Amino acid sequence: MLPFDIVEYQNRLCKTKERMSERGIEVLLITDPANMNYLSGYDAWSFYVHQMLVIIIDEPQPLWVGRYQDAHGAKATTWIYDENIIAYPDYYVQSSHYHPMVFIADILKQIGQGNRHIGVEMDNYYFSAKAYYMLQQNLPDATFKDADLLVNYVRIIKSEQEIEYMKRAAKIADQAMAVGVKTMKPNLRECDAAATIYRELISGTENYGGDYPAIVPLLPSGENTSAPHLTWTDRTYEQGESVVVELAGCYKRYHVPLARTVSIGQPSKELQNITPIVIEGLTKVLESIKPGMTCGEIEGIWQKSIKQHGIEKEARLGYSVGLNYPPDWGEHTASIRKGDPTVLQPNMTFHLIPALWFENYGIEISESFRVTESGCESFTKFPSKLIVQDPFSLNEQDGKIS
């Protein structure tokens, strides 16, 4: 069963074709699995081989082109007519003699599309330099155009059904965070904490299950909290060290990320001092957000807040988030950083991550939110504070040690 009504898929296709027309693109070759899913519903772990959704501006249905053994998956998960699902033989897979882009080029020539203006997603993980080269070599009469992020920007404003899926993902994220941080005690292995979190992310709630997130749980601990993108090892946690937990609930491929910092026992003086600064900046930003602001203006509020304490943040403050596949849950469109001109509109969704990293430690307390008609609304409910495993050592009102 499709996760969205077929009318919603058709509306998405129409908006995509409008953007194609604006860019002078007649044929759009989509290799980003999130964009393939968004326009067709296709959902499978087959993105490690070449596959493609072909949008022809004057044809009502897309074409799905992929590996023969994945064709039944396309029939099962998309709204595309079976005759528009085209499979290449397995000898094209990871071959030094045959390339799937040659097969695709031949198909395009056979259906009269070989001499048109063709858009390709130039900066996508799943579109290689060789793929582009083979298309150029085998479609000599075509004019190629960069269509990078064309569909991504169609995705930036979510439908009500998409928002509902993100709310479900948020509940999964809250549950995984709550269960995961409770396990973080001295002598527990990092990998065991990761396993606990993963179980909650996949198991989901009593009413609905979870999906695999596009990024694994990030779990740096101790001095490694200064490096945000480390995962886990088999070392054991120690009393007095901190752990940064960044995860995302995922439902129907829609993500809601959530990050918190956990102190195993008494927090260090550094964490005690920096936590109120982060929470103050986070609160000011969330209270200020409203439609019509730019992403750059949001970042300016954060910078002003932390500069009062003599701190500057080099990295961006957040990014658009939603539907995606590995290796990233971000949408690669709007970033909450200096100079980003993206104007906020209702039902845009972001991961706001006012994290700070220093030489020997770091802190992350994040919120995912959607823009509303008058402000913003956080998806998750998990307390925005430093999590201390000894409940008697923390004043929950202000995050300070009592």
User: Can you list the alpha helix ranges (DSSP code H) found in 207-311?
Assistant: 269-288, 295-307
pLDDT at 269: 96
Does the pLDDT of residue 393 top 80, yes or no?
no
- pLDDT band per the 50, 70, 90 thresholds, residue 173: very high
Instruction: For residues 182 and 144, give the distance between their C-alpha atoms in angstroms, rounded to a whole number.
Output: 53
**DSSP conformation letters of 301-348:** HHHHHHHTTT----S-SEEEE-B--TT-SEEEEEEESTT--PBP-TTB
Q: Superfamily assignment of 6-154 in CATH?
A: Creatinase/prolidase N-terminal domain (3.40.350.10)
How far the first Cα of the chain sits from its last, in Å, is 53
Go through 165-201 and write b for each residue having 16 or more CB atoms within 10 A of its CB, e for each that does not: bbbbbbbbbbbbbeebbebbeeeeebeebbebbbebb
**Which residues pair with residue 367 across a beta bridge?**
352
> Which is it for the CA torsion 173, 294, 21, 124, positive or negative?
negative
Which pair of tokens denotes residue 220?
Answer: 């740096």
If one looks up domain 160-401 in CATH, what number appears? 3.90.230.10
Predicted TM-score of the model (pTM): 0.95
How many CB atoms are located within 10 Å of the residue 225 CB?
Answer: 25
Mean pLDDT, range 180-192, rounded to an integer: 96
Query: How confident is the model at residue 292, as a pLDDT?
Result: 98
* CB contact set of 237 (below 8 Å; sequence gap of 6+): 184, 185, 186, 187, 188, 189, 190, 193, 221, 243, 264
Alpha helices in 68-214 (DSSP H): 71-77, 100-110, 129-138, 150-154, 160-182, 190-203
- What confidence tens digit (pLDDT) does each residue in 281-325 have? 999 999 999 999 999 999 999 999 999 999 988 999 999 999 999
CA pair distance 82, 243, nearest whole angstrom: 49
Q: Which of 30, 361, 76, 38 is nearest to 224 (CA)?
A: 361
> Rounded CA gap, 172 and 264, in Å?
23
Q: What is the rounded distance in angstroms from the CA atom of residue 338 to the CA atom of residue 178?
A: 33
The per-residue pLDDT for 266 is 94
CA neighbours closer than 13 Å in the CB half-sphere of residue 240: 3
E strands, 57-122, in order: 63-67, 85-88, 117-120
pLDDT of residue 13: 98
Paired tokens of 108: 């395009």
Which tens digits make up the pLDDT trace of 336-377?
Answer: 999 999 999 999 999 999 999 999 999 999 999 999 999 999
Domain segments of the chain as ranges: 6-154, 160-401
- Return the pLDDT at 215: 98
pLDDT tens, 217-271?
999 999 999 999 999 999 999 999 999 999 999 999 999 999 999 999 999 999 9
Helix 269-288 to helix 295-307 angle (10° resolution) is 140
Give the SS3 label for residue 27.
strand
Residue 1: predicted pLDDT: 83
* Whether the predicted pLDDT of 395 surpasses 80: no
pLDDT of residue 396: 39
Q: Which helix (H) or strand (E) holds 245?
A: strand 242-251
Q: What would the mean pLDDT of 8-23 be, rounded to a whole number?
A: 98
pLDDT at residue number 402: 27
